[in-house]
Every structure is written in structure tokens, then in C-alpha cells.
Structure 1
Amino acid sequence: MSIANPVAAHFEAPAASPRPAFSLLRRFIAGIADAISVANQRRAHREIGRFVARNGGLLTDDVERQIGNRFGQG
């Protein structure tokens, strides 16, 4: 027969704390940031497509260089 030891209970590891409530908010904000990033990338691709179309529709070395200068190398 075992007797409960109140001192041992005091030194037991605490129960795992629940995840913070703002975890859901962080995921929501990250989702919004991802959506904005995708939208910006699509917009940049459309602008580059229009630029190529305005410059003859062919992706020449000169047009490619202008795209890099105008829209960034990133």
C-alpha cells in the first residue's frame, strides 16, 4: 500500500501549458501575408508580360536587361 507523498507531488513537473491564444491570430496573419505576397507576384508577372508585349513580344537580351533594370533582379 502506497501513501501519497505531498512533498513529491510538489516537485513533479507542471502540466504542459496550453498553446497561447494568439497562435491562431499569428497563423491568420501569416496567411494574409502569404496571400499578399502571391498577389504581388502575380501583378509583377502581368506587368512584365505587358512590358514584353509592348516591346515586340519577343524576349530578347535587350528586353530581358530592361526588365531587370525596371522590375529588379529579385
Structure 2
Amino acid sequence: MATQKPDAAPETGRQDYPILAPFRLQGRWHHPEDKTLSLSPAQAYPLMLNEKVGEPLKAKTKPEAKEVK
């Protein structure tokens, strides 16, 4: 049996989604004033179908260096 190191953090795959309409998730209300909410894809899918959250926000990445020829 393989054991994991305690300091190894698994990647969660969560992304930030903009809140479009108020909704309740896990006993807590989320309002558009909160701007974004971090959700897993499984949580986000039904909320996107009901137009409660929008498309996931793009992660801020470093601008790619242009190649000089």
C-alpha cells in the first residue's frame, strides 16, 4: 500500500466563478456582491445551467515572452 507524504497537497481543480444571481450552496447564501466563488467543476455545472454563476475566470498568468529571431 502506498502512503502519501503529509506535506503533499493534492490539486483540487477548483476555479473562480462570477456570481450572477443569489443562490444557496451547502447551507450558505451567496450573493452577486461577493463577486466570485471558488467551486469544483461538479459544483459549478448545475449552477451554470441555472444561470447562477458564469463561465470560470481565467487564471492570471505571466505574459509569454516573444521569441526573437
Q: TM-score, normalised by structure 2?
A: 0.28
More strand by percentage: 2
Q: TM-score, normalised by structure 1?
A: 0.27
Considering Cα pairs closer than 8 Å and 6+ residues apart, tell me whether 1 or 2 has the greater RCO.
2
For the pair shown, the structure with the greater C-alpha radius of gyration is 1
